[in-house]
């Protein structure tokens, strides 16, 4: 990717000014030009129609080479139904980077076949990323080689190995997409799932079971259960449930990929093929072109 100018946009919650300054200064020091949408900071979140209009404006700005979302939070589900997808097709390959609440947009982009979704750290993570995660992010944007990552095998179905393009994101947002008919097909893809501690184990269980029962994982090459931020008794409950859930799927299921609300989050390019060996070694054989 030839990235010279990064557009900072928001379709979710607002960002504190100090985090905006920290993030944009880091990008400028790295050699990028930066444009910031006016709704990224403010006394209150802008109305959904304004957030949609600004996203479209930045998407169609020929000077912007990549969209970087300022933060997650809440609100993307109100914006995505308002977008003019036909207009956005004027730039069908524009990279857009985010995760958490932005899961809604990235997977809608897959479903609509518009844009280049990358699920990875947003501007709000500029001051807390680990050096490894920062270097990984640079490599993803440069389409450079990535080192292999060793995963844990939860369920070795169908021979255990898998390959395909990734998709996924925050569990509750994937659930919302499925309920609203915007979740792309998992057929042939590797589905990555993460969740924050805001959602109790009972809701995690409900979302996963409804997604499974509704066919959201049908045809998936594999599922990777990533970082769940729960601790204490909630963590113990999930540690008991997740292997049980994994064994109910017909595809291989893995865990241990550092993706989620953590300083070590590793970005996932939804256009970059990956492969997982039966013993759980995840690798990117070559960048997608």
Q: Domains along the chain?
A: 5-128 (3.40.50.10740), 149-283 (3.50.30.60)
At 288 the pLDDT is 46
pLDDT in tens, the chain (289 residues): 788 999 999 999 999 999 999 999 999 998 999 999 999 998 899 999 999 999 999 999 999 999 999 999 999 999 999 999 999 999 999 999 999 999 999 999 999 999 999 999 999 999 899 999 999 999 999 999 999 999 999 999 877 789 999 999 999 999 999 999 999 999 999 999 999 999 999 999 999 999 999 999 999 999 999 999 999 999 999 999 999 999 999 999 999 999 999 999 999 999 999 999 999 999 998 654 4
CA distance 99 to 240: 26
pTM of this prediction?
0.96
Output phi, psi for 276, to 5 deg: -125, 125
CA distance 282 to 259: 13
């Amino acid at each position: 990717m030839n990235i010279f100018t990064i557009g900072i946009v928001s379709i979710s919650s607002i960002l504190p000014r100090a985090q905006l300054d920290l993030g944009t200064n880091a990008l400028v020091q790295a050699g990028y030009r930066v444009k910031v949408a006016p709704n990224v900071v403010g006394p209150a979140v802008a109305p959904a129609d304004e957030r949609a209009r600004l996203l479209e404006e930045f998407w169609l700005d020929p000077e912007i080479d990549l969209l970087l979302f300022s933060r997650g939070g809440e609100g993307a589900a109100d914006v995505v139904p308002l977008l003019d997808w036909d207009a956005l097709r004027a730039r069908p390959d524009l990279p857009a980077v985010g995760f958490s609440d932005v899961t809604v947009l990235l997977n809608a982009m897959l479903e609509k076949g518009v844009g280049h979704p990358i699920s990875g750290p947003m501007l709000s993570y500029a001051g807390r990323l680990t050096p490894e995660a920062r270097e990984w992010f640079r490599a993803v944007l440069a389409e450079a080689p990535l080192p292999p990552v060793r995963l844990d095998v939860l369920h070795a179905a169908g021979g255990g190995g898998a390959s395909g393009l990734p998709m996924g994101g925050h569990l509750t947002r994937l659930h919302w997409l499925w309920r609203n008919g915007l979740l792309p097909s998992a057929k042939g893809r590797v589905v990555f799932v993460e969740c924050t501690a805001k959602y109790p184990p009972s809701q995690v269980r409900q979302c996963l079971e409804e997604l499974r029962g509704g066919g959201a994982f049908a045809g998936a090459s594999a599922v990777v259960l990533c970082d769940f931020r729960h601790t204490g008794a909630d963590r113990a409950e999930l540690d008991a449930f997740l292997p049980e859930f994994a064994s109910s799927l017909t595809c291989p299921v893995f865990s241990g990929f550092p993706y989620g609300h953590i300083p070590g989050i590793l970005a996932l390019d939804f256009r970059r093929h990956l492969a997982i060996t039966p013993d759980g070694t995840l690798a990117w054989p070559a960048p997608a072109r």
